[in-house]
Amino acid sequence: MSDPLLNNSAASAAVDTIAAVSTPPGRGGIGIVRLSGPESTTIAEQLVRLRGPLEHARARFAEVLDPTADEDDTQSRIDEAVVTFFAAPNSYTAEDLVEIASHGSPVVLDLLLRQALTLGARLAEPGEFTQRAFIAGKIDLTQAEAVRDLIDAQTLAQARLAASQMGGALSARVMPSKHALLELIALLEAGIDFAEDDVSVAPEREIQRRIGAIRPPLTELEATFTHGRVLHDGLTLAIVGRPNAGKSSVFNALVERDRAIVTAIPGTTRDTVSERIALGGIPLELVDTAGLREAVDEAERLGIVRSRQALADAAIVLVVIDASEIGPAGHLHEEDRTILNSLEGRSALIAWNKCDLLDPDTEDTLAAGIESSEPALLAHVDLPVIPTSAVTGQGIAELREAILKLATGGAAAEPGMLTSLRHHRAVTQAIEGLDAASAAATNNIPHEMVLLDLYRALWALDSLTGQTTPDDVLNLIFSTFCIGK
Amino acid sequence: MLSGVLAQPNSKCDKIWKSVEWVYMGFTEEFDVAVVGAGHAGCEAAMAAARMGLKTALITMNLDLIAQMSCNPAIGGIAKGHLVREVDALGGVMGVVADAVGIQFRLLNTSRGPAVWSPRAQCDKAQYRVKMREVLEGQRNLHIKQAEVTDLVLEEVGRDQGSEIRGRVAEDARLVVPTLSAQNAERMGHPADSVEGPGTGEAGTRDQGSGTSEQKRIRKVLGLKLRDGRRLMARATVITTGTFLNGLIHCGEERYPAGRSGEPASVLLGEALRRLGLRTCRLKTGTPPRLDGRTIRWEAFAEQPGDADPTPFSFRTTKIVQPQVSCHIAYTTPRTLEIIRENVGRSAMYSGQIEGVGPRYCPSIEDKIVKFPDKTQHQFFLEPEGLNTHEVYVNGMSTSLPMEVQAEIVRSIPGLEDAEMLRPGYAIEYDAVDATELDRALKVKCMEGLYLAGQINGTSGYEEAACQGLMAGINAALWVKGEAPFTLDRTEGYTGILIDDLISKGTNEPYRMFTSRAEFRLHLRIDNADRRLTAYGRKLGLVDDATWAAYERKQERMAALEKLLKTKKANAIEGPGINHPSRDQGPANGGQGSKIRDQATEDGGLVVPTLSAESAERMGHPVSLVELVKANPGATWAVLLKRPEVTIDRVLPALVNELRSDPLLVDYALISLQHRTSLSHLDDKERHPDIGHPDSILKTEDAVARSVARNEAKAVETEIKFAGYLEQQKKAIEKLKAAEGVRIPEWLDYSVISGLSREMQEKLGRVRPETIGQASRIPGVTPAALGLVHVSIRIQGEKRARGPEVVVA
């Protein structure tokens, strides 16, 4: 058995529901997640909390909820969205089509897309919406030729990708699991198709043992996604803190040039300033922000709104605290405390800045105090604290190291990591298939059904390594078992 | 198929033209459909065409060997049993004939779910031939002829450049033909030297047609030439030559041309087909030696009896009439392996004498020993070839070793020390046509009116042959009638899968059906073959009124049972005797059981002995149904059935009152209550309950009814219990249907689709898939390539419609 149509965009137009972020990557004014296919509305309804039923060509307000929060938790609302539904055939693709426009935060868009995939949508191939529109006769021949060229280019890209995957590290890493899975499938298939021969029926224990051996490498692989994705896509680090804490100085020190204007006047930075650097091979977008405080004028107020947005979007937050301001017996400023409180559960670190301004004795005390007097100074803050001086360059190397550690989760780069959502989806689907098969075997479900779950896992891995055909299964059966009469 | 419609004789005028035509062409007899070969494919093809009302000729080289089972004496087996059921559901004859002469029935794979249950029957080989001939001779419109076909009468009608052109040329040709001179007509009969033309005369060797089919000529088969000089005109021809095409038998160092052991090969027809220029390949298959049963010491072997409640192939069969016999299981000894190892170099397989590719699922004994040297013992079966013969088939010992080595091998097995060999095993090589030359109707793509079925298409097995024969026969008949072809897709049956595999991929070893080839295995069951196909058979005119009525009744019965299970709330006190006290429940529960029994009796229920604690334990049912019902108040039986430990045979006894109108099921319920552990080995004498109920209990002497009831109940159970899995497959089915819905027009030119690699262009050009779905199954065709093809359909389509040029990229 095989499902060559599993990811066949051309052939399955009428059946699959596809999803993608249809606005350019990065933060825009708004970001749109688009769904097309028969289950678009069902998925959308579960994806967001709609205020009012979906109607053709009508926009509806909706709330994007944190899927991990409780149903009734009012705090679980993470964004607002406008949802527009176009009923088949009066849509771009001639299928049911739903567009969810949110405030453009990449974090929210990513969350929506991943949720949509979990709810049964398939990640759209590049250009697939247009392809569907074309096949449905919605666009003209000139556009159609553009589509053909697009697929053509895709073909080349896929061929290159496939070639690199086939011999690539990811494929090499998945292959042993896939082969072990194929062997289990062959064992069960042989038991069914050659029951007349003396092929013994695989006992449940054996099935569980084999699944147990196939699964761990896959879960390990799955876990590399966090890191792998960072390696691939990079991440954003927002530098926040009170005015004049030295954020821009730290920013400049990290980008190694005077990118942001630095003055002694609090509130110099009005707008966010960003710059890409590579840190240990990871693309890192550094965002310098306006200091957070009660704004003194309109321009600063707007700057602070942007700072808060940057803080919300960033994968890592670097809080810069002016150590010199606090003094030997001092305590954290109220605004610092507020910032730190808002970071609970997030990936963040503290630059204990302007250390050069402390007299050596105090510095020592403070440095020690970070640990000893923690309850007083940084109560309940469980974040790495790096003493720095943007002026002398003290601690900047340590700061880079600490950022890198947060970015990679402490893991070192390894060959064959998962770097794309598509690959990650394939591995999680494989694991889901294995788990379902294991549960089915436990319940003594007949093998031909356990096999459905195993094939689901196999096809998912196929997308990383190349297709398995029914003949491959038969070949394995014939080379493994002495069959035939 | 448009061309077919255009070229049909559809008026009186046409008929007159036709008769003028055939006299001119020197035909001596006229038929609508001619079937060449009367094996398992040929018999189905001829029966189908004749039953569809067409004058049909069935031509065989030997009348006495119609429907010969040339290899093992059994029909069915895993996946093959599914095919027989499908043939039967469509109105074919194999199932009925096998049931009539079956001498040992076994339902295989019952330890798994009903999707992979498959019937198999040992058949009396001689009686099979007799019975099939009786069926054929009883069929109106069917003319059986003993003759050797030596050639096809052909007419060139055009080049395959799209249906419009093809259709037009075909029509022209029909008008032109009657005006042909006698000389021309004569030449028509000699395609080799004239019709083929000087350029291609003898060039029709294998792989000649590797170019894309756009360049292939379209020819039409007008009839057949027989060796005795007769010429049969036929509007459609079905060729089912089995292993007879250039057959070459190997037995050790010896080899000689033959169709089967003791029968001549079809050399002339083989040459004629070769001249058609179709791609061919050389395949190999083999058979084991046959022994004299009187010289076998039977007590040395383990007996393998059949089922006590035989499952017939045909939905129409109500009774198994033949006495039932057993097979025996045997094993090789170390000495056997030694003999084979010493002599393996003398096997035709290993001496390099055989060039054909043999089936891996049916290896010769020498193959098994060479390829699996660690296996110290190989199993084989001693199968009776019939009731009136002592001939025994040694299943599992196919070989092409020299005869004296075969004898030595046989005698190395305890129990066969004195066994006498009646016939030696042998290997046979034969020509098969690359089935990618065929369309889904089994018609040769570049020929009009020519259909191929069975081993000639590269398959192996009686059942694989039968289903193709039936489909080819139906389609030949439809073509003659001017109707659209009848095809099945992969979601409808194993038959559809077999044909789709063949025409999309071809095969490089004899193709056998396996359930693992079916991606929708859970839906393609033996119990629903009729639900899948009988309506088609009815529409085609192959299913008679009585069968249709029985079919409808069965569907009603199953629907009623399903409805009952889904609506009826489970109530432990509802029926008698459903309490199964578990071992640790103690006497208190035993008391409860009897209370329930009493109550049931008062309610007018039946008194049925409850199972003892001991037997409940033996059956592995630790949880009593009563407790389950208590724990799930308000649940329907269907809900309980979803639990792994609750099976239909545990539930039905509680529903005997509701099932009164279905005596078959009531009987099954009561029997299963008593004999749950040994369902398939019931013996009428043992099973005897004093269960008298005035109207609901059949005296079940009829074991077939029993198996039918069980299989139906199990099917309903499966649909409920595994609804989730079935639903999952249904989604995949919809997906495939969608892909099958996107047709690739015949005019699509792959060679100008930019971005398609040459390899892909070549593959697609050779197979010329009919749909995007079929294209996706051609090995190596990627999703991106499918996307390109899909888009190009519209691009090329619009350009065709717009410009004068016929095909532009």
- Tell me the CATH number at B416: 2.40.30.260
In this structure, the answer to whether residues B693 and B555 fall within a common structural domain is yes
In this structure, the answer to whether residues B699 and B601 fall within a common structural domain is yes
In this structure, the answer to whether residues A72 and A140 fall within a common structural domain is yes
pLDDT at B693: 33
Q: Is some CB atom of chain A closer than 8 A to the CB atom of B393? A: no
- C-alpha–C-alpha distance, residues A249 and B344, integer Å: 85
Q: What is the mean pLDDT of chain B?
A: 80
In this structure, the answer to whether residues A290 and A215 fall within a common structural domain is no
Paired tokens of B414 = 């305890």
- Of B390, B408, B428, the one marking the end of a domain is B428
Contacts of A192 in chain B (CB under 8 A): 78, 109, 112, 116, 515-516
Paired tokens of A70 = 């409780």
In this structure, the answer to whether residues A332 and A387 fall within a common structural domain is yes
- C-alpha–C-alpha distance, residues A93 and A82, integer Å: 20
- pLDDT band of residue A2 (cuts 50, 70, 90) is very low
A9 domain-assigned: no
pLDDT at B581: 36
Contacts of B461 in chain A (CB under 8 A): none
pTM: 0.79
The answer to whether the CB of B249 falls within 8 A of the CB of B327 is: no
pLDDT at B521: 92
pLDDT of B582 above 90: no
pLDDT of A194 above 70: yes
Q: Is some CB atom of chain A closer than 8 A to the CB atom of B758? A: no
Q: How far is CA A69 from CA A45, A73, A75, A120, A335, in A?
A: 17, 7, 8, 21, 27
In this structure, the answer to whether residues A362 and A275 fall within a common structural domain is yes
pLDDT at A13: 45
pLDDT at B11: 55
In this structure, the answer to whether residues B753 and B690 fall within a common structural domain is no
In this structure, the answer to whether residues A240 and A374 fall within a common structural domain is yes
Q: How far is CA B242 from CA B133, B239, B285, B510, in A?
A: 18, 9, 11, 12
- C-alpha–C-alpha distance, residues B787 and A203, integer Å: 43
pLDDT at B590: 36
- Between B459 and B2, residue with greater pLDDT: B459
pLDDT of B214 above 90: no
The contacts of residue B402 (CB under 8 Å, 6+ apart) are: B251, B252, B253, B254, B343, B346
- pLDDT band of residue B468 (cuts 50, 70, 90) is very high
B393 domain-assigned: yes
B152-166, B212-226, B516-530, B558-572: segment of lowest average pLDDT = B152-166
Using DSSP's 3-state secondary structure scheme, residue B690 falls into: coil
pLDDT of B434 above 70: yes
A217 domain-assigned: yes
> Which range, A39-53, B137-151, B370-384, has the best average confidence (pLDDT)?
B137-151
Closest residue in B to A145 (Cα) is B795
When divided into structural domains, chain A yields a total of 3
Q: Mean per-residue pLDDT for A325-341?
A: 74
Can you name the residues that pair with A240 across neighbouring β-strands? A319
Residue with tokens 């069915």: B76
Domain of A189 in residue numbering reads as 169-228+417-480
In this structure, the answer to whether residues B347 and B404 fall within a common structural domain is yes
- Residue spans of beta strands (DSSP E) within B376-437: 379-384, 391-395, 421-423, 426-433
- C-alpha–C-alpha distance, residues B316 and A239, integer Å: 81
- Of A387, A408, A429, the one marking the end of a domain is A408
Q: What is the pLDDT of residues A374-386, one digit of tens each?
A: 434 555 567 888 8
In the sheet where A31-36 sits, what is the strand order? Answer: A48-50, A58-65, A77-86, A97-102, A31-36, A18-21, A122-123
B4 domain-assigned: no
pLDDT at B759: 83
Contacts of A448 in chain B (CB under 8 A): 112-113, 115-116, 515, 521-522
pLDDT at B411: 96
Q: Mean per-residue pLDDT for B748-772?
A: 87
In this structure, the answer to whether residues B554 and B698 fall within a common structural domain is yes
**Percentage of chain A lying above the pLDDT 70 cut:** 80
Q: Which of A178, A19, A189 is nearest to A109 (CA)?
A: A19
Domain containing residue B782: CATH number: 1.10.150.570
In this structure, the answer to whether residues B646 and B767 fall within a common structural domain is no
**Of the candidates A1, A10, A449, which has its C-beta nearest B518's C-beta?**
A1
- pLDDT band of residue A291 (cuts 50, 70, 90) is confident
Assess: ipTM above 0.85.
no
B180 domain-assigned: no
In this structure, the answer to whether residues A31 and A142 fall within a common structural domain is yes
Q: How many CB pairs under 8 A join A and B?
A: 179
Paired tokens of B756 = 């398609």
pLDDT at B138: 97
In this structure, the answer to whether residues B422 and B558 fall within a common structural domain is no
pLDDT at A186: 93
The alpha carbon dihedral of A424, A428, A429, A431 has a sign of: positive
B609 domain-assigned: yes
B187 domain-assigned: no
pLDDT at A429: 93
Q: Mean per-residue pLDDT for B213-240?
A: 86
pLDDT of B645 above 90: no
Distance (Å) from the alpha carbon of A199 to chain B's nearest alpha carbon: 11
- pLDDT band of residue A269 (cuts 50, 70, 90) is confident
pLDDT of B634 above 50: yes
Question: A222: alpha, beta or left, given left = phi > 0 and alpha = psi -120 to 50?
Answer: alpha
* Selected residues 489-518 of chain B with any CB under 8 Å from a CB in chain A: 514-518
Q: Best residue in A193, A432, A480 to probe B by mutation, most B CBs within 10 Å?
A: A193
pLDDT at A340: 85
- Of B407, B428, B449, the one marking the end of a domain is B428
Helix axes A141-166, B783-802, angle to 10 degrees: 160
- C-alpha–C-alpha distance, residues B446 and B469, integer Å: 20
List residues forming the annotated binding site of A for (6S)-5-formyl-5,6,7,8-tetrahydrofolate. 34, 99, 138, 485
pLDDT of B610 above 80: no
B263 domain-assigned: no
- pLDDT band of residue B28 (cuts 50, 70, 90) is confident
When divided into structural domains, chain B yields a total of 3
pLDDT at B206: 36
Closest residue in B to A474 (Cα) is B516
Domain of B780 in residue numbering reads as 742-802
Closest residue in A to B394 (Cα) is A485
Domain containing residue A270: CATH number: 3.40.50.300
Contacts of B509 in chain A (CB under 8 A): none
pLDDT of A414 above 50: yes
A91 domain-assigned: yes
Q: How far is CA B70 from CA A268, A423, B98, B360, B498, in A?
A: 96, 52, 15, 19, 22
In this structure, the answer to whether residues B703 and B749 fall within a common structural domain is no
- pLDDT band of residue B274 (cuts 50, 70, 90) is confident
Q: Is some CB atom of chain A closer than 8 A to the CB atom of B741? A: yes
B640 domain-assigned: yes
- C-alpha–C-alpha distance, residues A118 and A128, integer Å: 19
In this structure, the answer to whether residues B340 and B408 fall within a common structural domain is yes
Q: Mean per-residue pLDDT for A79-89?
A: 90
The alpha carbon dihedral of B20, B25, B28, B30 has a sign of: negative
CB contact under 8 A, B790 and A11: yes
A72-81, B342-351, B613-622: segment of lowest average pLDDT = B613-622
pLDDT of B578 above 50: no
In this structure, the answer to whether residues A48 and A146 fall within a common structural domain is yes
Domain containing residue A472: CATH number: 1.20.120.430
Q: Mean per-residue pLDDT for B278-283?
A: 91
pLDDT at B583: 34
Q: Mean per-residue pLDDT for B213-238?
A: 85
pLDDT of B208 above 90: no
List residues forming the annotated binding site of A. 34, 99, 138, 244-249, 263-269, 288-291, 485
pLDDT at A341: 82
Residue B614: Cβ-neighbour burial (10 angstroms; 0-12, 13-18, 19+)? exposed
CB contact under 8 A, B515 and A448: yes
- C-alpha–C-alpha distance, residues B363 and B369, integer Å: 10
Q: Mean per-residue pLDDT for A112-120?
A: 89
Q: Which of B457, B607, B439, B488 is nearest to B2 (CA)?
A: B439
In this structure, the answer to whether residues B780 and B699 fall within a common structural domain is no
pLDDT of B673 above 70: no
A184-193, A200-209, A247-256, B795-804: segment of lowest average pLDDT = B795-804
In this structure, the answer to whether residues A398 and A250 fall within a common structural domain is yes
A119-123, B249-253, B593-597: segment of lowest average pLDDT = B593-597
- Of B646, B680, B707, the one marking the end of a domain is B707
pLDDT at B595: 36
- Between B649 and B24, residue with greater pLDDT: B649
Q: How far is CA B594 from CA A43, B501, B573, B612, B633, in A?
A: 53, 58, 11, 12, 22
pLDDT of B348 above 60: yes
Q: What is the pLDDT of residues B472-491, one digit of tens each?
A: 999 999 999 999 999 999 99
- C-alpha–C-alpha distance, residues B6 and B674, integer Å: 64
In this structure, the answer to whether residues A239 and A221 fall within a common structural domain is no
Residue with tokens 């050639």: B151
Q: Which of B587, B556, B721 is nearest to B648 (CA)?
A: B721
In this structure, the answer to whether residues B642 and B770 fall within a common structural domain is no
In this structure, the answer to whether residues A154 and A213 fall within a common structural domain is no
- If you compute the radius of gyration of chain A from its CA atoms, what whole number of angstroms results? 27
- Of A408, A438, A463, the one marking the end of a domain is A408
In this structure, the answer to whether residues A272 and A152 fall within a common structural domain is no
Q: Mean per-residue pLDDT for B716-744?
A: 88
- C-alpha–C-alpha distance, residues A181 and A166, integer Å: 18
**Percentage of chain A lying above the pLDDT 90 cut:** 25
CB contact under 8 A, A3 and B519: yes
Q: Which of B466, B461, B467 is nearest to B510 (CA)?
A: B461
pLDDT at B753: 85
Distance (Å) from the alpha carbon of B14 to chain A's nearest alpha carbon: 42
In this structure, the answer to whether residues B793 and B690 fall within a common structural domain is no
pLDDT of B574 above 50: no
Q: Which of B511, B498, B440 is nearest to B467 (CA)?
A: B498
pLDDT at B162: 40
**Of the candidates B515, B738, B791, which has its C-beta nearest A12's C-beta?**
B738
Distance (Å) from the alpha carbon of A196 to chain B's nearest alpha carbon: 8
Q: What is the pLDDT of residues A133-156, one digit of tens each?
A: 877 777 766 666 666 666 666 555
CB contact under 8 A, B378 and A474: no
Q: Mean per-residue pLDDT for B719-729?
A: 90
Contacts of B779 in chain A (CB under 8 A): 469, 471
Burial A289-307 (b: 16+ CB within 10 A, else e): bbbbeebeeeebeebbeeb
pLDDT at A155: 56
In this structure, the answer to whether residues A215 and A271 fall within a common structural domain is no
- Of A119, A146, A163, the one marking the end of a domain is A163
Using DSSP's 3-state secondary structure scheme, residue A480 falls into: helix
The answer to whether the CB of B108 falls within 8 A of the CB of B78 is: yes
For residue A414, how many other CB atoms are within 10 A of its CB? 13
A417-421, B409-413, B553-557: segment of lowest average pLDDT = A417-421
- If you compute the radius of gyration of chain B from its CA atoms, what whole number of angstroms results? 29
For residue B198, how many other CB atoms are within 10 A of its CB? 7
Domain containing residue A114: CATH number: 3.30.1360.120
